[in-house]
Amino acid sequence: MNAVIADALADPTPRSLWSAAVRKLARDRAGLIGLAVVLAYLVAALGVWLGLWATEWAEITGSKWAPVSAEHWFGTNIIGQDIFQRGIYSTATAFEVGLVVAVLAAALGGVLGALAGFFVGSWIDELILWAMGVLDAMPFYLLVAAVAFALADNPWSMHVAMIATFWTTTSRLVRGEVIKLRGMEFVEAARAIGVPPTVTIFRHILPNTTHILLVQMTLAFVDAIKAEVILSFLGLGVKGGMSWGLMISESTLEFLGGHFNNLIAASCLMFGLVYAFNMFADALQDALDPKQVSA
Amino acid sequence: MDLLRFALRKLLAGLPLILGVTLLSFTLMVYFGPDKTYQLLGKNPTPEQIAEIRHELGYDRPFVTRYVEYLRQLVTLDFGNSDSTGEEVNAVLARTIPVSLALELPGFILGNLLAIGLALTAGYFRGGWPDKLIMGLAVIGMSISFLIVIFAFQIWFCTSYGLDWFPVRGWKAENLAEYLRHIAVPTLATMFVALGYSTRFYRAVIVEELNRDHVRTARAYGTPPARLFYRNILKNCAIPIITRIMFTIPSIVIGGALLIETTFGIPGVGKVAYEAIVSGDQPVLKAVVGLTALLFVVTLLITDILYRAVDPRVSIR
């Protein structure tokens, strides 16, 4: 305790939530390693997007079920495609799904949660709460399947379904935070000088919930990648591309022959990204927890 | 009497939720869902035959009429016959729901008990190596896909590449031994996947309670750990724990079983519901989604009543 006080006295510059969070994050070794691994995956994904590598993921470049070799790092699959290239290509798919779903779900949840919280008790709040309740009461996989059919095999149907269900958690948290914030002086001051409600919400209140949005985005990113794998297996996920889920679903055809390279490659690549992201998300959550900033 | 009035009021408050879920699912699954007309017709149908089939399936009636008809079915619990097999929907549900429950319940109960046990251990040794080990394993468990767990366990326990102890697919429950043999691997997979998330959640709740003054006082007075955990901690954590357990129930009855049932070839309600979506079997879909919504509202109600039972501060008025 004395050390904290001494620390505070020695450093008279006021510390914001953000600079404190960055300092805390910089001291969290597990979190930093997680971030580094995630960035390495991101580089792999960028390379795929730029067409630098994994360009032959759909080509038959070897014989069926070729073993691990210098040419085929993880061997080949049932028709002789290179598993390593397919795994790396799938990294880009994972980032695409994760980022699109995380950003849009957090944006939707943030805006609707802020509206509900600011107008708490009004019909707007009731309506948004009702929508959240309805979406939470629907079984997730049935909803995704239904959206996939309603959108007539549109490649974005999986993203739409995930965004439609993932925003509710963010929205509930933001709503709770905004209910707290709307009673504070700066909101009162904004109202007193005649700032219209929409400006108050988007300029003054929503920026104060960024820490919630950021943490929720990391959680949604992980959830989206995990959901993609299951949905692709069920035939409701990625269409016209390659993903870890499709690789795993393809690998089920190879079990009887005793070939597990496809399953192991997809599983390990996916586990690496999700585990690293979970470590980073934990560190971020600790760093951004306002309750812990002073401690 | 108070309790009955409370229950009725809560159920009434749940009505908009049921209307919302049924409207959304109806629009998505029934109105935009797959069209079964041509699957049921023979080759080269005449326009009259097409019109007749569409009339039979109800496709020619307006949206509102069909939705109201759905609500009537939900209230009377009479969903007609399946489009695909002609079997009565209620008979399908009566056959499949018990299978899903028998499949999911053991894993659900054991998983939660184990998670609470691990969370208590981690909380008790907070900051020590048991805590770090348990929480480290929890993050690893959270990072492995359910699908990978299922396949890994299937290969490991059910094939000659591993131990080859249990059947890979199928369902038999004539006697206890057969039943246990068939649920063993699905149960292990379900528990493994749920354990990471549950343990972390329960630990967070327990640690928050551990920090409170009354726990410190009880400790200072030398309360033995078992008693401390039960009386001073678990009882006070009951509300978040109950909430979490209760809210998983609707999804384990319908949704959570889907993946397990598909991969292990078990004829439960999740598999039936999934097949109904893919084939556009509207009567089955309507029943499953409508009943899930009902179950959700009933769960909300029971949760509220349980709050009252464990925490005298919660009023039912």
Q: Are A7 and A269 in contact (CB under 8 A)?
A: no
Of B161, B280, B293, the CB nearest to A258: B161
CA B153 to chain centre: 21
- Pick from A51, A67, A24: nearest CA to A286: A24
Percent of chain A residues past pLDDT 90, beyond the cut? 23
Interface of A with B (CB under 8 A): 130-131, 133-143, 145-147, 149-150, 222, 226, 229-230, 233-235, 245, 248, 251-252, 255, 258, 260, 263, 267, 270-271, 274-275, 278-279, 282
In chain B, which residues have their Cβ closer than 8 Å to the Cβ of A270?
145, 148
Rg (CA), chain B: 24
> How far is A162 from chain B, CA to nearest CA, in Å?
15
HEC states along A148-183? HHHCCCCCCHHHHHHHHHHHHHHHHHHHHHHHHHCC
Calpha distance A74→A244 (Å, rounded): 14
Mutate to test the interface with B, among A29, A90, A136, A142 (most CBs of B within 10 A): A142
Of A233, A270, A279, the CB nearest to B139: A279
Backbone angles phi, psi at B312, to 5 degrees: -60, -15
In chain A, which residues have their Cβ closer than 8 Å to the Cβ of B274?
141-142, 145, 234
Calpha distance A11→A15 (Å, rounded): 9
B94, HSE (Cβ side, Cα atoms, 13 Å): 8
In chain B, which residues have their Cβ closer than 8 Å to the Cβ of A150?
27-29, 32-33
3-class DSSP assignment, residue A254: helix
Rounded mean pLDDT, A183-210: 89
DSSP A82: B
The dihedral over CA atoms of B97, B98, B102, B108, expressed in degrees to the nearest 10, equals 40
Q: Are B151 and A252 in contact (CB under 8 A)?
A: yes
* Chain B residue closest in CA terms to A276: B143
C-alpha angle A43/A46/A47, rounded to 5°? Answer: 90
B127, HSE (Cβ side, Cα atoms, 13 Å): 0
* Chain A residue closest in CA terms to B295: A137
Ranges of residues in chain B with a pLDDT under 50 are: none
> How far is B283 from chain A, CA to nearest CA, in Å?
15
Q: Which residue has the tokens 């749940």?
A: B14
For helices B146-158 and B257-264, give the axis angle rounded to 10 degrees: 40
CB-based burial label for B253 (10 Å; 0-12, 13-18, 19+) = buried
Structure tokens at A112: 């609707």
Please count the residue pairs, one from chain A and one from chain B, whose beta carbons lie less than 8 angstroms apart.
129
Q: Which residue has the higher pLDDT, A32 or B43?
A: A32
What are the structural domains of chain A? 15-294 (1.10.3720.10)
* The predicted structure's pLDDT at residue A117: 92
- Mean pLDDT computed over every residue of chain A: 82
* The predicted structure's pLDDT at residue A102: 94
Calpha distance B124→B289 (Å, rounded): 42
Report ipTM for this prediction.
Answer: 0.81
Spatial CB neighbours of B137, under 8 Å, sequence gap ≥ 6:
B196
C-alpha angle A4/A10/A16, rounded to 5°? Answer: 70
3-class DSSP assignment, residue A50: coil
The winner for highest mean pLDDT among A5-9, A72-76, B251-255 is: A72-76
Backbone angles phi, psi at A29, to 5 degrees: -65, -45
Are A278 and B143 a contacting pair at CB < 8 A?
yes
* The predicted structure's pLDDT at residue B317: 54
Structure tokens at A194: 């005649």
Calpha distance B172→B99 (Å, rounded): 10
* Chain A residue closest in CA terms to B274: A142
Calpha distance B157→B162 (Å, rounded): 6
Are A271 and B258 a contacting pair at CB < 8 A?
no
pLDDT of residue A184 exceeding 80: yes
Q: Are B243 and B303 in contact (CB under 8 A)?
A: yes
Of A233, A252, A275, the CB nearest to B143: A275
Of B147, B161, B273, the CB nearest to A233: B147
* The predicted structure's pLDDT at residue A99: 93
Banded pLDDT at A1 (limits 50, 70, 90): very low
* The predicted structure's pLDDT at residue A108: 95
Are A137 and B251 a contacting pair at CB < 8 A?
no
Q: Are A132 and A168 in contact (CB under 8 A)?
A: yes
Of B20, B28, B148, the CB nearest to A147: B28
Banded pLDDT at A294 (limits 50, 70, 90): very low
A250, HSE (Cβ side, Cα atoms, 13 Å): 22
Are B155 and A255 a contacting pair at CB < 8 A?
yes
CB-based burial label for A248 (10 Å; 0-12, 13-18, 19+) = buried
* The predicted structure's pLDDT at residue A295: 34
In chain A, which residues have their Cβ closer than 8 Å to the Cβ of B297?
137
The DSSP result for chain B, as a single string, is: -HHHHHHHHHHHHTHHHHHHHHHHHIIIIIISS---HHHHS-SS--HHHHHHHHHHHTTTS-HHHHHHHHHHHHHHT---B-TTT--BHHHHHHHHHHHHHHHHHHHHHHHHHHHHHHHHHHHHTTTSHHHHHHHHHHHHHHHS-HHHHHHHHHHHHHSTTTT--S-SS----SSHHHHHHHHHHHHHHHHHHHHHHHHHHHHHHHHHHHTSHHHHHHHHTT--HHHIIIIIIITTTHHHHHHHHHHHHHHHHTTTHHHHHHHHT---HHHHHHHHHHHT-HHHHHHHHHHHHHHHHHHHHHHHHHHHHH-TTS---
In chain B, which residues have their Cβ closer than 8 Å to the Cβ of A291?
none
Of B16, B139, B293, the CB nearest to A130: B16
Are B140 and A251 a contacting pair at CB < 8 A?
no
Q: Are B79 and B287 in contact (CB under 8 A)?
A: yes
Structure tokens at A289: 């927890």
B57, HSE (Cβ side, Cα atoms, 13 Å): 22
pLDDT of residue A70 exceeding 70: no
Distances B28 to B21, B22, B34, B82, B286 between C-alpha atoms, Å: 11, 10, 10, 19, 11
> How far is B219 from chain A, CA to nearest CA, in Å?
23
For B98-310, CATH number?
Answer: 1.10.3720.10
* The predicted structure's pLDDT at residue B244: 84
Interface of B with A (CB under 8 A): 16-17, 20-21, 24-25, 27-29, 32-34, 139-140, 142-148, 151-152, 155, 159, 161, 250-251, 254-255, 258-259, 262, 273-274, 277-278, 280, 288-289, 292-293, 296-297
Of A137, A230, A282, the CB nearest to B147: A230
Calpha distance B102→B173 (Å, rounded): 9
Can you say whether residue B12 is alpha, beta or left, with left for phi > 0 and alpha for psi between -120 and 50 degrees? alpha
* Chain A residue closest in CA terms to B289: A138
Backbone angles phi, psi at A60, to 5 degrees: -90, 105
pLDDT digits (tens, 9 = 90+) for A8-25: 555 555 567 778 778 878
Rg (CA), chain A: 23
pLDDT digits (tens, 9 = 90+) for A122-139: 999 999 999 998 888 887
